[in-house]
Amino acid sequence: MRDHQQPQHQPPAEDQKNQEIDQNEPDAQQDQNLPNEELNQLQTDLQKARESELRAMADYQNLVRRTQEDYGKMAKFANLTLIESLLQPLEHLYLAKEQLKDQGLSMVYQQFMQVMQEEGLEEINALGKEFDSATMEVVNKENVAKQDQVNKVLKVAQRGFRLHGDVIRHTKVIVGEMAKKN
């Protein structure tokens, strides 16, 4: 008869684990909330770190750009003092060339001006143009009969120059003004 006895039904091991989990469910939710809070905090910290890194990279890129700009300006105007000191001899050479009409002197002047232009020097052309205080300085005024000559450059007393677009010597000019009626 022993063979015919029915074995007692025992729950499988998995069923026991599920029952234990069901009994402990409130504790499991609390344990799951704690990692979520930590996860949220870590995500917030990560986002702050990324933003900080982006700001640092932007600051670095701005520094590189400003340094390159400053270096470019420094290189551009490195010869400023030398070129300014050569303007008066250049002017004397120009005046001698104009007075003497010597072909050799003209060639030397042209070579000298070519070198100066390669360094960024350019003459300010003012003759016949409207007076511009940014590039010109009035040294005298002459009476004119025509209204269209008022405030126009009639003569250039001394040539002016720009270096890389910036005025380094204003053109000294004589401008027209309307003759005063007595």
Last residue of a domain, one of 21, 44, 76: 76
- In a shared domain, residues 59 and 85: no
Give the domain-ending residue among 17, 49, 76: 76
Q: For residue 122, is it within any domain? A: yes
pLDDT of 161 strictly over 90: yes
Does this model's pTM top 0.95? no
When pLDDT is cut at 50, 70 and 90, the band that residue 178 belongs to is confident
Query: 151: which DSSP letter?
Result: T
Position 125 scores a pLDDT of: 96
Asked whether residue 59 is domain-assigned, the answer is yes
9 found inside a domain: no
Q: Based on the domain organization, do 144 and 71 belong to the same domain?
A: no
Percent of the chain with pLDDT over 70: 80
Same domain, 62 and 128: no
Specify whether 37 is located in the same domain as 96: no
Q: Do 129 and 50 share a structural domain?
A: no
Cα–Cα dist 42/37, whole Å: 9
